[in-house]
Amino acid sequence: MSNPYGEQQPGLGQQPGYGPPPGYGQQPTYGQPPGSGQTPGGSPPQSQPPYGGPQMYSQPGYGQAGYAPPGYGGPEELYEAGRELIGMRPWVMICGICGIIGASFNLVQVLAMFARGGRDMSEAVGNFIGVVVSLVLASLLLKFGGAINAFRQVQSPQQLEAALEAHLAYWRLLGILFIIAFLLLLVIFVIGVAIAITR
C-alpha cells in the first residue's frame, strides 16, 4: 500500500508531547533580566560571564592611591590601622641617624688603627666589620622611616606593605647577626672548656 505522505509519515517514531525544550542547544546568557532575548536593534545578545569578569576591575578609582576594594574599608580605616606605625617614624629616624654618626666615628678610628699597623691590625679588622654592620642596620632603619613617611602621605595598602617589608628586613638581619654571634660564643665556650679539661 502506497504511503501518501512519502517515505515517512509526520511524527513517525516520535512520542507525542516529547521533543527538545524551547531554546535547547543555545548558550545561556548571564547577567540579563528575563525576557531580554535580544539587544535593541535586533542583534543577538552577547554572552556575559556569570561573575562580572572585567567589570570587577572597572570600578571608579581602582588602581589609584587611596583606593580600597569593596569590603576592605577606605583610607580612614587604613590610616587607623597604620597609626601606630606612623608614630614609630621619629624614633626610627633618630636611631638610624645616630647609627650613621656612630659608625662614622668608628670608621675614623679604624682607619687610624690601619695606619698605625702592628698589633692593632686584628682589632682593626674586627672594628671594621662592626662598622659595616652598623652602617647596614642604620641604612635599613632609614629606609624603614622613608617607607613610613610614604605611607603617611599616600595611605595606600601598597605603601603599608612596603613599610612592613622594610621593618621585616631590619629585624631579619638583626636576628641573623644575633644567631651568628651566639654560635661564635658557643664555639669559643666549647673550645675553652675542652682546653681546660685536657690540661
User: How many angstroms separate the CA atoms of 107 and 61, rounded?
Assistant: 50
Residue 148 is placed in which grid cell?
A: 613610613
Nearest to 79 by CA among 91, 69, 66, 88: 66
| Residue 70: per-residue pLDDT | 46
Residue 128 is placed in which grid cell?
A: 671594621
Q: Each residue of 125-134: b (16+ CB within 10 Å) or e?
A: eebbeebeeb
What are the two backbone dihedrals, phi and then psi, of residue 100, each rounded to the nearest 5 degrees? -65, -45
Q: What is the pLDDT of residues 60-118, one digit of tens each?
A: 444 454 444 444 455 566 667 678 888 889 999 999 999 999 999 999 988 888 888 76
DSSP labels, 41-53: TSPPPPP--TT-G
Nearest to 75 by CA among 197, 194, 165, 157: 157
* ∠ Cα 179 180 185 (to 5°): 100
| Residue 199: per-residue pLDDT | 78
Q: What is the pLDDT of residues 119-166, one digit of tens each?
A: 778 788 888 999 999 999 999 999 999 999 998 888 788 888 899 999
Q: What is the pLDDT of residues 31-68, one digit of tens each?
A: 444 444 454 555 445 544 444 444 434 444 444 544 44
| Residue 59: per-residue pLDDT | 45
Most distant CA pair in the chain, distance: 129
Entry pTM: 0.57
| Residue 155: per-residue pLDDT | 78
